[in-house]
Amino acid sequence: MKFLKNIKEEIAIIRERDPAIHSNWEVFLYPSFKVMLHYRLAHKLYLKKHYFLARYISQRGVRKTGIEIHPGAQIGKGFFIDHGNGVIIGETTIVGDNVTLYQGVTLGGNGKEQGKRHPTIEDNVMISAGAKVLGSFTVGAGSKIGAGSVVLQEVPPGSTVVGVPGRVVRRNSLRLPQEELNQNLPDPVREDIVGLQKANSELTNRLLDLEAQLKKLSKESK
């Protein structure tokens, strides 16, 4: 009975969120529907410490849909993946209710943490295509993550995040003042540019010194 209830819930979620679905039968072809059936079964086995079987079922779901949800992840009600190819959800990820992900989203770790190493996504969050949320921190309820963003730090509730690395540009539908946008987030691109400018300046100074020395030697030799 619970299995049938889960199927009905998944059908209702997909039909509510995707206007391209015209009938219940189409839902059975939908990657999000298939992967969630695999995940729910794999998660139950994972909780019972049947880790191999859990991973086996999970990997079957990956092969069929291109969506990888670790059986250890905790996912709430109303979860929806639109299109979905390339979505990856790590083992210690916690996802609240009514969360929507688009294709290419990664909820992963940064390789430096032990234990809880993946993000917590609170209720009613939307994460757009290609966004990466990496690390053990919380994305607050009602937030939106822009396409292609790389989120590396905590996101307050009701925020809109864009960019690499991700920056909060709106909070509770209000655009933030410019001074608030200058968060202390690492910007690898900017750091690389500054480093190249510094190296270029040092090389230029060395060349000028060498030219001066060559001119001096040339005069002395005459």
Q: What is the pLDDT of residue 177?
A: 55
What are the residues whose beta carbons fall under 8 Å from the beta carbon of 187, sequence distance 6 or more? Answer: 165
The residue-averaged pLDDT of 127-148 equals: 92
Are 64 and 154 within one domain?
yes
CA angle 44, 50, 54 (to 5 degrees): 60
Are 216 and 171 within one domain?
no
Are 41 and 117 within one domain?
yes
Percent of the chain with pLDDT over 70: 84
Which is it for the CA torsion 139, 145, 148, 149, positive or negative? negative
Q: Can you tell me the distance from the alpha carbon of 99 to that of 45, in angstroms, rounded to the nearest whole number?
A: 23
Are 174 and 191 within one domain?
no
Are 101 and 168 within one domain?
yes
Residue 205 has pLDDT above 70, yes or no: yes
Are 150 and 210 within one domain?
no
pTM of the model: 0.70
Q: Can you tell me the distance from the alpha carbon of 189 to that of 165, in angstroms, rounded to the nearest whole number?
A: 9
30-48 burial, b at 16+ Cβ within 10 Å, e below that, comes to bbbbbbbbbbbbbbebbee
Residue 124 has pLDDT above 90, yes or no: yes
- Residue 39 phi/psi, 5-degree rounding, is -65, -45
pLDDT in tens, 89-116: 999 999 999 999 999 999 998 776 678 8
The residue-averaged pLDDT of 158-181 equals: 74
Q: What is the pLDDT of residue 134?
A: 92
Q: Which helix H or strand E contains 161, and what residues bound it?
A: strand 159-162
Q: How many CA atoms lie within 13 A of 114 on its CB side?
A: 0
Q: Are 144 and 128 in contact (CB under 8 A)?
A: yes
Antiparallel, parallel or unpaired: β 138-139 and 120-121 = parallel
Domain count for the chain: 2
Are 120 and 199 within one domain?
no
How confident is the prediction for the chain on average, in pLDDT? 83
Range of the domain at 36: 2-178
pLDDT in tens, 13-70: 776 676 667 777 777 777 888 888 899 999 999 999 999 999 999 999 999 899 999 9
Are 81 and 167 within one domain?
yes
The two three-digit tokens of residue 135, written as one number: 């690390």
> How far does Cα 168 stand from its chain's mean position?
15
Are 117 and 145 within one domain?
yes
Are 45 and 19 within one domain?
yes
